[in-house]
Amino acid sequence: MEGWPLDNLGGKFIMITGAARGIGLALARTAAGKGANLILVDRDEAALGEAKRECLKLTGYVKNVVMDITNVQELRETVDQVIADTERIDVLINNAGIMQTKPFLEVEEDDWDRVLSVNLKGLFFLSQAVGKHMITRGQGSIIHISSIAARFPRPLAMHYGASKAAVLSLTKSMADFFGEYGVRVNAVCPGPMETEMLQAIGRDRASLFGGSAEKAILDYVGPIPLQRVGQPQEVAEAALFLASDQAAYITGQALNVCGGVQMM
């Protein structure tokens, strides 16, 4: 198609939360490799510093933001400061999230509040703060990293699954709201990925059911048709496609990156 955009993330300002490790770090590295300008957000200042050093080998602009995304006032002030420094945020990737393996009857109020605060509250209010600036410019792309747990029963992580299912609901509602302003909103649903989170799941399941963490992980990923866990890079490529101009007519969608464990 004449005029079809090619590699179009170069020069864009991309904000990524939870950028210090796992999928967030893969997103940062991949976006840097495509020439994007990065705003990396995390609570871990030391790990974020290492992420910045890695990304500066690939791109010319990386700004680190040490922030607790559950603190709405801090979040709003930080976004305003970033906009003052960069003039715009073209892409927001809401990746920050926490997981807890805990049987339903043992989940405490603090467990619920902590998981929902990071996975849902922070995502909502950061999207609101960044989205206001995108509306002013009449363009932008917001990507939520949800989870395949949003689509299946999760009896050992009901509060986590609920938070990620709510993210999919927000994706549709936000896409409908932002559409008239030229801002797209989509989600990615990763399956089990080779991350620290998966290792923690293995340890938690082993402590509940016995055996080794390695066997617990194998049992956990057993139903996956491709017979392997995914790599964070695979999520990053999918998310950055949705963020790019190649996906200009895609909004309100949730893309599974899960090895086929959930199909159409």
**Residue of 160, 181, 220, 249 marked catalytic:** 160
The domain locations on the chain are: 13-193+230-257
* C-alpha to C-alpha distance for 220 and 199, rounded to whole angstroms: 11
For 203-257, give the DSSP string.
HHHHHHH-S-HHHHHHHHHTT-TT-S-B-HHHHHHHHHHHHSGGGTT--S-EEEE
What 3-state class would DSSP assign to 188?
strand
- Average pLDDT rounded to a whole number, residues 2-10: 63
> Which residues contact residue 209 at a Cβ distance below 8 angstroms, ignoring those fewer than 6 apart?
216
- End-to-end CA separation in angstroms for the chain: 28
The order of strands in the sheet holding 37-42 is: 62-66, 37-42, 13-17, 91-94, 140-145, 183-190, 254-257
pLDDT at 100: 95
Q: What is the pTM of this model?
A: 0.94
101 — pLDDT class (breaks 50, 70, 90): very high
Contacts of 255 (CB under 8 A, 6+ apart): 186, 187, 188, 189, 238, 242
pLDDT of 18-73, one tens digit each?
Answer: 999 999 999 999 999 999 999 999 999 999 999 999 999 999 999 999 999 999 99
pLDDT tens digits, residue range 103-144? Answer: 999 999 999 999 999 999 999 999 999 999 999 999 999 999
Residue 204 pLDDT exceeds 80: yes
* H/E segment holding residue 1: none
Domain topology for 13-193+230-257: Rossmann fold (3.40.50)
Contact 213, 202 (CB under 8 A): yes
Q: What share of the chain is helix, strand, coil (3-state, %, to 5)?
A: 50, 15, 35
**220 catalytically annotated:** no
pLDDT recorded at residue 1: 41
Q: Comparing C-alpha atoms, which of 206, 226, 115, 95 is closest to residue 163?
A: 115
User: Cβ–Cβ contacts within 10 Å for residue 117, how many?
Assistant: 16
- State the Cα–Cα distance between residues 225 and 228, nearest whole angstrom: 8
Of 143, 253, 235, nearest in space to 190 by CA: 235
- 149 Cβ contact list (under 8 Å, min separation 6): 157, 160, 161, 164
pLDDT at 208: 86
For residue 7, the model assigns a pLDDT of 55
